[in-house]
Structure 1
Amino acid sequence: MRTAVLREYGEPLDVTERPQPEPDPDGAVVAVEACGICRSDWHAWQGHGEWADDQVPLDYVLGHEPAGRVVEVGDDVKRFDEDDRVVVPFSLGCGACHDCQTGHGNTCSDGLALGFERDVPGAFAEQVAVPNADYNLQELPEGVRFRDVAAVGCRYMTAFHALAHRAEVGGGDWVAVHGCGGVGLSAVQIADALGARPIAVDVDEDALTRADEVGASVTVDGAEADVVAEVEAITDGGADVSVDALGRAETARNSVRCLRARGTHVQVGLTTDAERGEVPLPTDWMTRWEIDWLGSRGMPPARFGDLLSMVEDGALEPGKLVGREVPLDDVSDRLAAMTNYETEGVEVLTF
């Protein structure tokens, strides 16, 4: 099968042939129809994460947002058969531990991250192997296109879990979203669907235009305005919930400082080698105003039904975020474009 292999950090991926995967007894092999190209792939491609013992290995296949058809299942798999249409979450749980059994598989201590760890090569390939298929695979509703849900396995589900489950966003809440790349745009659309009032913050006019198109109540140009003051003015005192969807020190601090008393910050964006996982915060101010800080990573497989049902009935439309479809040979160019934030919404590899 054709794959795109990481040979050196920051260098073009090597598009080459590799043997087709075989399923474990409890696993499945999925033919990839579409796979999102995510900023987390860019972090991995750059070699980030060594400060958290989280650097991806070389001679490895990236890609962690696939959707496709099951082509083979192991002998122990009960829920899935060949030709089933599925979405593959990147946060793969073991299915047996306390966290998995209580609905928190995204924090499984024995879990694996698809496209980031040696044991689970990623989906910039024609096929991808998925362990613990009965627990991890998610059935894709009929009528929903593969390319439209290619980001659901990471960015979209991450934004949904962050807002619906972690921050418990409700009707009328002001939700500030700092950074309108793929996960930020997902957060804007999801906040709007949940009945909240999203404020999209970015320094790029095209990103703000796209945010407006997918549901932003207000947009703020961070290149022209004092972000904190602008959000406070729009909301008459500060946002109820604020999301750092970029992972820079500036956006994290802006996200915290633009909150009203007892507001909630949600950290979704991962830091780069400029921050190396550490961001200074106004902790005394946060204590004074009882600000909550929440981390959010992926989404438990057990809660995918909440999201996919809203996609199926049209309440959520992840396909509107797709800005470009690309072939396997062009994935390296699109990763390079992320370095200077030159991508278009959610970009998707399609076969």
Structure 2
Amino acid sequence: MRAAVMTAFRQPLEVKQVPDPTPGPRDAVIRVQAEGICRSDWHAWMGDWTWFGFSPQLPVVMGHEMGGVVEAVGSEVRRVKPGDRVTVPFHEGCGVCAYCLSGRPNLCDNVQVPGFSHDGGYAQFARIPNADFNCITLPEGVDALTAAAMGCRYMTAYHAVTMQGRVQPGQWVAVHGTGGVGLSAVQIAAAAGANVIAVDIDDAKLEKARQEGAVATVNARATKAPEAIREITKGGAHVSIDALGIGDTVISSVTCLRKGGRHVQVGLTTQKEQGMVALPVDVMVLMELEFVGSLGNPHPKYAELLALVERGRLNPKALVTREVALEEASNVLQAMTDFKTIGFNVITDF
């Protein structure tokens, strides 16, 4: 099969022929029809995340935002079969640890992530471990491109907005960073009836955020975002989401809240922060602010997300701004370095 292989950090991927994957007894192999190019892929490509033990071993086929069709299954697989249309949560669970059994496989003790733990979806075929647990069957109204658009950024934003952020109609919600996760959060929070303020330093991305439902935007290069948000909201946001993960956005998100507000941290940090960001702890105590982490979207929550997409209440495909060929993946990753991408770039030509 053809695959885009990362053989060195920060270097162009090698598009070449590699052996087709074969399923183990509990695995499935899917024919990849669409594969998103995610900011997490960029972090992998940069060699980030060594500080929490999550930089991939090279060489590796990248990619963890897949939509496709089951091609083959192992001898012990019972729930999925060849021909089924599926997507796969990026946090592949073991299905037997306490977190998986309690409905929180995004926190699985034995989690695997395609493109990090094993070869992923920048290829014509991908092996999915523990397929009965990790393959999510797609409803008729959700195609492979939509599934890839949901694969990491959108489903992550859904969990951040609905579960960890507990966003309610009429609340003010600030979203810091309007990359893939941020634009997804804007769309989802707006659909939930919130008043959304998008924050970025790129006017083109802020315009896209308005198209996805933001009622106001703040260019953080031109003004101090926390002050602007407090002015717009007459007191501060009820919920603020950091969808980027740099020190400035973490602090801006926390300090734009009103009393009793909730900060949701979705973005993981870069080489500069290595996971460590100073926080205004006294202010957080005096204002009774909440600081909540948010990772992925638990498998059991996919049914409600897919139903909302199928009914047209949510539209992840609207965030797909460009379909690309496998050979273009390196160029997209480089553009991400310069923060020049808007929305989702999805590989559909393998």
Shorter-chain TM range is over 0.9
Superposition deviation, residue 7 in structure 1: 0.9
Whether the 8 Å CA contact 1:86–1:140 is kept in 2: the answer is: yes
Return the alpha-carbon distance in structure 1 between the equivalents of residues 224 and 187 of structure 2. Answer: 24
Asked whether 1:276 is paired with 2:304, we answer no
Asked whether 1:207 is paired with 2:197, we answer no
Superposition deviation, residue 144 in structure 1: 2.0
Among residues 155, 158, 180, which one is paired with 1:157 in the alignment? 155
After the TM superposition, which parts of structure 1 deviate over 3 Å for at least 4 consecutive aligned residues? Answer: none
Whether the 8 Å CA contact 2:47–2:55 is kept in 1: the answer is: yes
Return the alpha-carbon distance in structure 2 between the equivalents of residues 94 and 53 of structure 1. Answer: 19
**Cross-structure match for 1:94:** 94
Whether the 8 Å CA contact 2:71–2:82 is kept in 1: the answer is: yes
Whether the 8 Å CA contact 1:242–1:266 is kept in 2: the answer is: yes
Superposition deviation, residue 121 in structure 1: 1.1
**Cross-structure match for 2:120:** 122
Return the alpha-carbon distance in structure 1 between the equivalents of residues 59 and 183 of structure 2. Answer: 32
**Cross-structure match for 2:18:** 18
Whether the 8 Å CA contact 2:245–2:270 is kept in 1: the answer is: yes
Whether the 8 Å CA contact 1:169–1:241 is kept in 2: the answer is: yes
Superposition deviation, residue 63 in structure 1: 0.5
In structure 2, give the amino acid aligned to 1:68.
Answer: G
CA deviations on 1:236-295 (whole Å, 9 max, x unpaired) are: 101011011111100000000000111110111111111111111101111111111111
Whether the 8 Å CA contact 1:208–1:219 is kept in 2: the answer is: yes
**Cross-structure match for 1:173:** 171
In structure 2, give the amino acid aligned to 1:185.
Answer: L
CA deviations on 1:118-156 (whole Å, 9 max, x unpaired) are: xx2111111111111111111111132221231312101
- Which has the higher mean CA deviation after the structures are superposed, 182-191 or 294-303? 294-303
Secondary structure of the residue aligned to 1:188 is helix
**Cross-structure match for 1:194:** 192
**Cross-structure match for 2:111:** 111
**Cross-structure match for 1:55:** 55
Secondary structure of the residue aligned to 2:271 is coil
In structure 2, give the amino acid aligned to 1:27.
Answer: D
Equivalences for 1:258-297 in 2 at 5 Å?
A: 258-297=256-295
In structure 2, give the amino acid aligned to 1:230.
Answer: A
**Cross-structure match for 2:233:** 235
Secondary structure of the residue aligned to 1:129 is strand
Return the alpha-carbon distance in structure 2 between the equivalents of residues 173 and 30 of structure 1. Answer: 41
- Which has the higher mean CA deviation after the structures are superposed, 190-199 or 327-336? 190-199
Secondary structure of the residue aligned to 1:79 is coil
Return the alpha-carbon distance in structure 2 between the equivalents of residues 318 and 31 of structure 1. Answer: 21
Q: Percent identity?
A: 49
**Cross-structure match for 1:4:** 4
Among residues 183, 186, 204, which one is paired with 1:185 in the alignment? 183
Whether the 8 Å CA contact 2:105–2:299 is kept in 1: the answer is: yes
Aligned residues: 349
In structure 2, give the amino acid aligned to 1:273.
Answer: Q
**Cross-structure match for 1:147:** 145
Secondary structure of the residue aligned to 2:16 is strand
CA deviations on 1:288-341 (whole Å, 9 max, x unpaired) are: 111111111111112111111100100000011011110000000000000110
Return the alpha-carbon distance in structure 1 between the equivalents of residues 52 and 130 of structure 2. Answer: 26
CA deviations on 1:66-116 (whole Å, 9 max, x unpaired) are: 110000111221211111111111101111111111100000101111211
Return the alpha-carbon distance in structure 2 between the equivalents of residues 114 and 59 of structure 1. Answer: 13
CA-based RMSD of the aligned residues comes to 0.9
Return the alpha-carbon distance in structure 2 between the equivalents of residues 90 and 44 of structure 1. Answer: 14
In structure 2, give the amino acid aligned to 1:65.
Answer: E
Return the alpha-carbon distance in structure 2 between the equivalents of residues 59 and 277 of structure 1. Answer: 25
**Cross-structure match for 1:81:** 81
**Cross-structure match for 1:45:** 45
In structure 2, give the amino acid aligned to 1:274.
Answer: K
Equivalences for 1:299-310 in 2 at 5 Å?
A: 299-310=297-308
- Which has the higher mean CA deviation after the structures are superposed, 65-74 or 138-147? 138-147
In structure 1, give the amino acid aligned to 2:244.
Answer: L
Ranges in structure 1 where 5+ consecutive residues have no aligned partner: none
**Cross-structure match for 2:245:** 247
Superposition deviation, residue 166 in structure 1: 1.2
CA deviations on 1:141-175 (whole Å, 9 max, x unpaired) are: 11322212313121011000111111211111111
**Cross-structure match for 1:225:** 223
Return the alpha-carbon distance in structure 2 between the equivalents of residues 145 and 217 of structure 1. Answer: 30
Ranges in structure 2 where 5+ consecutive residues have no aligned partner: none
Whether the 8 Å CA contact 1:90–1:115 is kept in 2: the answer is: no
Superposition deviation, residue 224 in structure 1: 1.4
In structure 2, give the amino acid aligned to 1:190.
Answer: I
